[in-house]
Structure 1
């Protein structure tokens, strides 16, 4: 029976190509399949006429065809199964077999994905669900070195009692700065600091205001404010702030980071400094503090 019967072949109209299956049922050589498609033969005759004509001429075609040896690396025999058509697994081309193996491995990796997410804690899942605009890309800030500043503290300081301890106030006796925007001196200013403890770690919270004077013939005055923390072991933090014991202490063992802003009314520097922000990496030893300022861009 060469005619199509939708009861027997319910997949005829499901959008899949039925040319290969029809060729098998009608004993039609596969080399003729391409010719039929290219000649648009399927649109000029009914299904029954096509099958009948091809069945009648199959014997002549097969006898006229030269006897060629089948390439063992390729398989043209198709097997109709419940999963449509598959090439017999024992005769797959070696190249496709490697591709299929990689596909199976990728599927296995995808199956492992949900397990990793299922192992996430409830708090992590809630945080991910509330993460605002997860597909939005925001520019990453860049740090560019801008200037270095050195200040010297007065040996005399004052301590003030506050609700959670004591704050120490110190003024600056000397200082200089130099960088891309200019150079000059620190004419006055001061800083307040407070020692706090967090378990086995100690920190010194620092807020400072510096009055900078540029080296121009007509100098400009700039207000520079810093705020940050120096952290480390309690013994080392205390030793670095003492002029006597700081000589034997290594300030690089105590990270000291500050946030810096500057402001001036001088038009020569206002556009460069008033809207800028900097991150400072600092070293504090005894009465001297050195800042390396990196502009955030």
Structure 2
């Protein structure tokens, strides 16, 4: 198996980030909340604006800027009126879609992503292939694995995955479905069912090279690999944390090893 690209991982990657001290204000900003040189009693009236405009015009005449600006305006090309173009087909479709947009006045909260845990799995070198239409589906079992994150740490003790390559024009999409059994590191461990579904997309030769245990020197970040994850457990210590959760993962696949960085959707 080829070696992974070495990337520095902070030692506290799984710790809740601490809030820093309040930012120091610059002397200029700090003074705004206290004594200020700004005269807040000035009232802007129509007469005041007229006087100010006359003063600006006088200064422009005496400074010579009035004649310079006049030459600029004389030498400037005449503005071209852009002809009205008929709306494109995509614009029409967008307008039609917006006209049918349900409840446009109701704002809906935007989902947030929070890093939750990292998981590594190692697949067995022996796999089986099953014919599916004009293609093949590859069935693999798990050899070993570990995980660690915000809600604990432990081992990946069982499971497997199936994958199928689907060629789309000049790209290959490897569709992945997996089910892994996670064991926590508690004295009396809990067991968590982790279901994964997603795609790795890239140039056909790169996808093939990354899945080949005998190939080396290929950067696993050259292909995009994203997954959707759900988890379930009957253990009361973790049920409230996991059973109603949803996660997405950004992954790297090289040879028989897959690494998942998993983010909880909140």
Aligned partner of 1:141 in structure 2 is: 111
Distance 1:251 1:208 in 2: 19
The CA distance in 2 between the partners of 1:164 and 1:266, in whole Å, is 43
TM-score relative to the length of structure 2:
0.68
Q: Which residue of 2 aligns with 1:257?
A: 226
Please identify runs of 4+ aligned residues in structure 1 that moved more than 6 A.
none
CA RMSD in angstroms comes to 2.4
Kindly state the Cα deviation for residue 140 of structure 1 after the two structures are TM-superposed: 0.6
Query: Which of the residues 125, 133, 144 maps onto 1:163?
Result: 133
Residue in structure 1 matched with residue 169 of structure 2 by the alignment? 199
Secondary structure of residue in 1 paired with 2:105: coil
1:93 to 50, 55, 58: 50
Cα distance per residue 1:47-82 (max 9 Å; x no partner): xxxxxxxxxxxxxxxxxxxxxxxxxx96xxxxxxxx
Aligned to 1:275: 244
User: Given the superposition, is the C-alpha separation of residues 279 and 94 from structure 1 closer, same or farther in structure 2, using an over 3 Å criterion?
Assistant: farther
Where do 1:105-124 residues align within 5 Å?
A: 121-124=91-94
Cα shift at 1:93 = 2.5
Measured at CA, do residues 126 and 96 of structure 1 come closer, stay the same or move farther in structure 2, by a change above 3 Å? farther
Provide the residue aligned with 2:155 in structure 1. Answer: 185
d(CA) in 1 for partners of 2:87, 2:165:
44
Q: 1:178 to 1:162 in 2, by over 3 A?
A: same
Alpha-carbon distance change, 116 to 140 in structure 1, aligned in 2, over 3 angstroms: farther
Cα deviation, 1:9-68, whole Å, max 9, x if unaligned, reads xxxxxxxxxxxxxxxxxxxxxxxxxxxxxxxxxxxxxxxxxxxxxxxxxxxxxxxxxxxx
Task: Report deviation, 1:233.
Answer: 0.3
Count of residues in correspondence between the two structures: 192
Q: Following the alignment from structure 2 to structure 1, what is the Cα–Cα distance between the partners of residues 144 and 246?
A: 24
Using the TM superposition, give the Cα deviation of residue 121 of structure 1 relative to its aligned residue in structure 2, in angstroms: 2.4
Structure 2 Cα separation of the partners of residues 288 and 128 of structure 1: 45
Q: TM-score scaled by structure 1?
A: 0.61
Q: Which structure has greater helix proportion?
A: 1
Which structure 1 segments of 5+ residues have no match? Answer: 1-72, 75-91, 99-114
SS at 1:121's partner residue? helix
Larger relative contact order, structure 1 or 2 (CA cutoff 8 Å, min sep 6): 2
